[in-house]
Structure 1
Amino acid sequence: MYQSKYRRRRGVILTSPGWNKLQEAKSEAEFNENSGYRYTLEQLSDRTGLAVDTLLRVHDGSTSVDKQTLKRYFSAFNLILEASDYYCPEPRNKELEPNDIDTEPELPGGQVPLDSAFYIERPPIESRTCEAILQPGALIRIKAPQQMGKTSLMARILERARKQGYQTVVLNLKLADEKVFTDLDRFLQWFCAYVSRNLKLPNKLADYWDEIFGSNYNTTDYFENHLLAQIDSPLVLALDDVDRIFAHPEIASDFFGLLRAWYEKAKYGERSSNIWQKVRLIVVHSTEVYIPLNMNQSPFNIGLSIELPVFTSAQVQDLAQRHGLNWSMQNVEQLINFVGGNPHLIRLALYHISTQDISLEQMWQTDVSAVRIYSDHLRHQLSNLQKYPELKTAFEKVVKVSTSVELDLVQAFKLQSMGLVHLLGNMAMPSCKLYCQYFGVCLSDSNFNTNEQIV
């Protein structure tokens, strides 16, 4: 009987939730069975029965494997592979090989430029978010520790929206003066005025602000009957660093309730729904939402939730190739163990190694040169710890022992948001060798306040 040559199905790739589920189970096993140390590829191979090359394909996040491979990987950590854990990728044209990229190394700092050859995608996050922003009334939440690429992802979503003819406004809440957060009325008036200016529309707050109705109603009225009424295309509002609002619970509860109400207005099917379907929201934050919010008012349990993962070994090897480095997987694992999978720390290391400022061996030995290239980063982290003595005390506990440490849950979340620890529940361990060795020394009582500790 004739059999179609197209009968065989294509391979599959882990979704972001599937990858996160696997990583959480793997981290738990590392805590409980491997003294908190990351499994090497060889150890994973022994545990799963999968070849190292096959593991690398799974970790790559863009290379298909057969579903049986994922089932075996999951079952090795007592997990069941579900339909939501994987997807079947669309056929795609051959991509540019890393060695085909002819560009000078790029010193990392802040958002990765849109045209950069050094931006590493984390499939399917980019495609999923860029599709989601095109949906009426969309809300996308992006969460990750500091310097994990949140703003770079947001920039690519906004670029997709602009190519569709949408208007975009980015509100980086770090730019707001502290006095803006003194009360809700002042904050929402600033919010309205900021969006008006960016849309090049007149500020008509005086015409729409009536104390009788309250701040949230006035803001909604201002958007619905002034701003949105005057634009024909969808409007993407990107709120970056909303952690700033978490420090002001009296504002946060009402403001986040307002965002939730706008999202729901687009779904009501009433006269104003068409207007609110124009609004697409992107909310970017680092810390867990530990402020008390009514479940029915919170925007943190609706929309598309994206939690950015650390770079995989395959992604780090790809990035090394883009820097002109022909690295083995052993080299890659050494770098990941030294600085973790944080994209910024990885890129900073690869930049200085590719420009021959330092060698991988020097970094692994925590040479003075290694501390020097991270001096700005370490100083920033140290400054944050100095501002919050309770976090300094908690992190000092973490770096002074060789096993995981139980912390207060809020402190654990805050240290995680700074990228300083990995968490399993409220059990914490240093996120990388650099932090463990460096802060293990400088967080002693006698040295903590001395800037000389940083080269």
Structure 2
Amino acid sequence: MYQPKYRRRRGVILTPQGSNKLQKAKSEAEFKENSGYRYTLEKLSDRTGLAVDTLIRVNNGSTSVDKQTLKRYFRAFNLILEPSDYSWPETQIEPQIKEIESDDVDVKPEFPGGQVPLDSAFYVERPPIESRACEAILQPGALIRIKAPQLMGKTSLMARILERGRKQGYQTVVLNLKLADEKVFTNLDRFLQWFCACVSRSLKLPNKLADYWDEMFGSNYNTTDYFENYLLAQIDSPLVLALDDVDRLFTHPEIASDFFGLLRAWYEKAKYGDRSSNIWQQLRLVVVHSTEVYIPLNINQSPFNLGLSVEIPDFTSAQVQDLALRHGLNLPIQDVEKLINFVGGHPHLIRLALYHIWAQDISQEQMWQIAQVWKIVTKLYIISYIPPLHPNLIR
């Protein structure tokens, strides 16, 4: 197996260009988000996830820090750290072989499949998506809608939104509709009772549907009453409720129209300003789906035209090159462009290709041979992972 050799470097410092770029972005954020007041070190630490002493070292400009630290600082203000933004201290000798940060030296590429773990070195952020979504979930009564094709990174992004909520002390619940048996979708009443029971169990609260379910009032009213007067009333912090794979409901329009109307009603209840609004402001919703909403929904009953809409894009050339470096592969830009041309910048396919090149299951030369595309597709298991194929693969 290919094992690239690395030489460690002690750290980097900001160049004047990088410092000016960061300070400008920080000043703009202070003006827009902090009423023009400068961020305290404590607030900067909360925003960036960096320790106060680390921030002091970065701002000092004469003390070197790990490059990953600068990347994190830049990402917090929706910036990408570029080579012109940092430099190596003069006391260090410029190595003749590719470098990676000391924190990543012993990290082996992981086989891509499903959600990228929170602590993974191979999750590629796509600014400003992550920071915008993680800020939105802190807003009372928030609704975030994540839409992208299969294996684009929806669940990985959802996990990072939930993690941001947990760091704020919020309760979090993930409900994947793929886990529901087909009989759950028999009728609206059964589906909403399953929905309420699942959330209760996730919150480790007793199932009290019998106390709140009255056929006279209808399923939507009973579900609202159960959440307002029981679930939300029992917890002393906001609740982030993530609904994954809601596409499952699109094949059951008789249930979907009422359920999605219910979500919209909850979102609007948080805005009413009446007695119950404070309770509904505690609920933050994340709705994740892969396909377009093709079921007919009244525009005034749909939640898909409210809140923050997030569409996950393909990887850019810079992001693919960065990911290749994390795999120990120093790909020139022309090879990066070839790879993107093959798979359209699809995140999972890019990671799959880089993993197999790193593992020497396939060489770069093989990857670039158009005549072997179908052989490569089969070798990388793309057919089994992603139906239908990306159009670039079959043209």
**What TM-score comes out, normalization by structure 2 length?**
0.74
Aligned to 2:100: 99
- Contact 2:315–2:347, Cα closer than 8 Å, also in 1: yes
Q: 1:184 aligns with which of 184, 188, 196?
A: 188
Residues 93-242 of structure 1 aligned to structure 2 (within 5 Å): 99-100=100-101, 101-102=104-105, 103-242=107-246
Aligned to 1:378: 383
Alpha carbons of structure 1 residues 344 and 232: separation in structure 2 relative to 1, 3 Å? same
Shift of 1:253: 0.3
Q: 1:329 aligns with which of 323, 333, 342?
A: 333
In 1, the alpha carbon distance for the partners of 2:216 and 2:115 equals 42
- Contact 1:338–1:363, Cα closer than 8 Å, also in 2: no
Aligned to 1:262: 266
Aligned to 1:43: none
**What TM-score comes out, normalization by structure 1 length?**
0.65
In 2, the alpha carbon distance for the partners of 1:275 and 1:90 equals 39
Aligned to 1:396: none
Shift of 1:290: 1.2
Shift of 1:135: 0.5
Alpha carbons of structure 1 residues 218 and 243: separation in structure 2 relative to 1, 3 Å? same
- Contact 1:166–1:233, Cα closer than 8 Å, also in 2: yes
- Contact 2:356–2:380, Cα closer than 8 Å, also in 1: no
The Cα offsets for residues 219-274 of structure 1, whole Å up to 9 and x where unpaired, read as 00000111111000000000000000011100000000000000000000000000
Instruction: Return the letter of the residue paired with 2:196.
Output: C
Please state whether the residue corresponding to 1:267 is helix, strand or coil: coil
In 1, the alpha carbon distance for the partners of 2:72 and 2:332 equals 19
The Cα offsets for residues 200-223 of structure 1, whole Å up to 9 and x where unpaired, read as 000010111111100000000000
Alpha carbons of structure 1 residues 345 and 136: separation in structure 2 relative to 1, 3 Å? same
Q: CA RMSD, aligned part only?
A: 3.0
Instruction: Return the letter of the residue paired with 2:100.
Output: N
Shift of 1:182: 1.1
In 1, the alpha carbon distance for the partners of 2:259 and 2:331 equals 48
Runs of at least 5 residues in structure 2 that lack an aligned partner in the other structure: 1-18, 27-70, 88-97
Alpha carbons of structure 1 residues 203 and 94: separation in structure 2 relative to 1, 3 Å? farther
Shift of 1:364: 2.5
In 2, the alpha carbon distance for the partners of 1:88 and 1:198 equals 34
Q: 2:253 aligns with which of 249, 264, 280?
A: 249
Shift of 1:94: 7.2
- Contact 2:212–2:222, Cα closer than 8 Å, also in 1: yes
Instruction: Return the letter of the residue paired with 1:372.
Output: T
Alpha carbons of structure 1 residues 330 and 91: separation in structure 2 relative to 1, 3 Å? closer
Aligned to 2:307: 303
In 1, the alpha carbon distance for the partners of 2:349 and 2:187 equals 38
Please state whether the residue corresponding to 1:252 is helix, strand or coil: helix
Alpha carbons of structure 1 residues 63 and 210: separation in structure 2 relative to 1, 3 Å? closer
In 2, the alpha carbon distance for the partners of 1:132 and 1:154 equals 12
In 2, the alpha carbon distance for the partners of 1:160 and 1:277 equals 17
Shift of 1:338: 1.1
Alpha carbons of structure 1 residues 326 and 198: separation in structure 2 relative to 1, 3 Å? same
Alpha carbons of structure 1 residues 88 and 199: separation in structure 2 relative to 1, 3 Å? closer
- Identity score, percent: 75
1:338 aligns with 2:328: no
In 2, the alpha carbon distance for the partners of 1:346 and 1:158 equals 25
Shift of 1:363: 2.0
- Contact 1:98–1:322, Cα closer than 8 Å, also in 2: no
Alpha carbons of structure 1 residues 368 and 90: separation in structure 2 relative to 1, 3 Å? closer
287-296 vs 356-365, which moves further? 356-365
1:317 aligns with 2:318: no
Residues 398-437 of structure 1 aligned to structure 2 (within 5 Å): 420=389, 430=391, 432=392, 434-436=393-395
In 2, the alpha carbon distance for the partners of 1:267 and 1:152 equals 29
